[in-house]
């Protein structure tokens, strides 16, 4: 018999949420075969079985939080068809049958069946083992606990919410009418539990807003020259490198040059010390179904345009396929986010983690612009730099963004610097 334990995930990750059981009790599992998918703060991890056999027991339900090193399932010997062990959820109906048989066997004893029926209400409720344990400790009837799970499964957080809810005074005769109104409203609202990753994103964004002196400065870039250069070179570029030439490589190179010129934008605050990073690892924000992730393009000062475009493409695909590793998203020194792909004209991006700067790109829009004494229609892009004013002064923030603007507007200079 082998125990399936939560493996070491990463240095900063101590727990995860069971996203999906890939095997059920009675299923045959091979050595090295995936048995469960865990959702962590950053990535999803599939856990394998170290032994071949039959899944005997699942100790936690989907949605439960488990810690590193904790036993979550048991795999034993035998064939799949011979397994009779039930999961915690499947065992509930069987347990609920016993009181019913007792009622049928003693029809003359009227009081006893009622008591047994009431005591079995908790057993018939679908709940995770952790939720049952907490309910027993707090003396809570699981049937009285409201749950947000669409399957009606009671989880630990539901029990805690029920326990912490204020006790209501005895209702007046008119109370049932007052309670009926919210039910009508509830039918028009879909309640959805936040995923672990969405909770992490929300908490970290709020933490950044509350713990930094964040400020945003703006500028606009005339995209005429870089668009013309891209148009002239894109076919040859694709033929030589088998990757398409986009604007992200231009902006990544421009940001890297600006970081060299303004090193405090490439820094990090650690207590009362400023860490000036001597490397250029630029994060590129990628939108996925589960939220925004920021994989890192390493050593952008050493990569050429083709290598940057290829790396961005690979990381974006891994992000959308949920194949990113922890190492793909740690250690960045600056971030670029492009709201322009969704049509955003202007925004104030929020800093990423402990970084002190983030560049926001936006949609390209034709606007009338004064060129000398003439008004011309030019493709323009607003850009925004959000920065931590505790580390970066206004002079450096404006100078940084102006450098990016000048390099994009004169891409030949950017090529020379690369």
On whether the CB atoms of residues 125 and 103 are closer than 8 A, the answer is: no
Q: Which residues contact 87 (CB under 8 A, 6 or more apart)?
A: 24, 25, 57, 58, 61
On whether the CB atoms of residues 349 and 311 are closer than 8 A, the answer is: no
Distance of CA 297 to the CA centre of its chain: 19
Measure the CA angle with vertex 235, ends 404 and 321; round to 5°: 75
Helix (H, G, I), strand (E, B) or coil at 27: coil
- Please tell me which residue in 362, 389, 396, 413 is annotated as part of the active site: 389
| Residue 389 annotated to the active site | yes
Please state, in angstroms and rounded to a whole number, the distance separating the CA atoms of residues 265 and 393: 10
| Residue 393 annotated to the active site | yes
On whether the CB atoms of residues 142 and 122 are closer than 8 A, the answer is: yes
Please state, in angstroms and rounded to a whole number, the distance separating the CA atoms of residues 66 and 60: 8
Residue with tokens 């995860």: 16
Please state, in angstroms and rounded to a whole number, the distance separating the CA atoms of residues 62 and 56: 17
Strand 214-222 and strand 374-388: the pairing is: antiparallel
Of 40, 37, 48, 35, give the one whose Cα is nearest residue 10: 40
DSSP for residue 320: H
For residue 334, CA distances in Å to 87, 135, 160, 246, 275 come to 47, 47, 40, 20, 13
Phi and psi for 247 in degrees, rounded to 5?
Answer: -80, -20
Q: Which residues contact 256 (CB under 8 A, 6 or more apart)?
A: 280, 282, 300, 301
Residue with tokens 């125990």: 3
- Please tell me which residue in 41, 301, 393, 413 is annotated as part of the active site: 393
Residues marked as catalytic: 389, 393
């Amino acid at each position: 018999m082998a125990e399936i334990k939560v493996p070491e995930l990463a240095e900063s990750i101590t727990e995860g949420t069971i996203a999906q059981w890939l095997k059920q009790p009675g299923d045959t599992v091979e050595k090295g075969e995936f048995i469960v998918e865990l959702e962590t703060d950053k990535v999803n991890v599939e856990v394998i079985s170290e032994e071949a056999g039959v899944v005997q027991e699942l100790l936690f339900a989907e949605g439960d939080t488990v810690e590193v090193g904790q036993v979550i399932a048991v795999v034993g010997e035998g064939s799949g068809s011979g397994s009779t062990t039930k999961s915690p959820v499947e065992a509930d109906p069987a347990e609920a049958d016993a009181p019913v048989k007792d009622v049928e066997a003693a029809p003359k004893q009227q009081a006893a069946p009622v008591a047994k029926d009431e005591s079995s209400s908790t057993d018939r409720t679908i709940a995770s083992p952790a939720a049952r344990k907490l309910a027993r400790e707090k003396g809570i009837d699981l049937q009285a606990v409201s749950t947000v799970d669409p399957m009606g499964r009671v989880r630990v957080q539901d029990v805690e919410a029920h326990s912490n809810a204020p006790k209501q005074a005895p209702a007046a005769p008119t109370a049932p009418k007052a309670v009926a109104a919210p039910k009508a409203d509830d039918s028009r609202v879909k309640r959805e539990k936040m995923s672990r990753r969405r909770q992490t994103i929300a908490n970290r964004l709020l933490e950044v807003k509350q713990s930094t002196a964040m400020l945003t400065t703006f500028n606009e870039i005339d995209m005429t020259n870089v668009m013309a250069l891209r148009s002239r070179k894109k076919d040859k570029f694709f033929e030589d490198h088998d990757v398409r030439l986009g604007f992200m490589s231009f902006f990544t190179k421009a940001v890297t040059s600006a970081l060299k010129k303004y090193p405090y934008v490439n820094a990090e605050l650690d207590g009362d010390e400023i860490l000036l990073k001597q490397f250029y690892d630029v994060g590129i924000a990628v939108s996925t179904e589960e939220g925004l992730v920021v994989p890192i393009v390493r050593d952008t000062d050493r990569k050429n345009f083709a290598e940057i475009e290829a790396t961005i493409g690979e990381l974006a695909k891994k992000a959308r396929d949920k194949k990113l590793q922890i190492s793909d998203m740690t250690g960045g020194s600056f971030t670029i986010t492009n709201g322009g792909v969704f049509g955003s004209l202007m925004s104030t991006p929020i800093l990423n983690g402990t970084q002190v700067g983030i560049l926001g790109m936006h949609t390209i829009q034709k606007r009338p612009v004064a060129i000398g004494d003439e008004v011309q229609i030019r493709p323009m892009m607003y850009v925004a730099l959000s920065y931590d004013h505790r580390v970066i002064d206004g002079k450096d923030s404006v100078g940084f963004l102006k450098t990016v603007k000048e390099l994009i507007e004169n891409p030949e200079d950017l090529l020379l610097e690369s």
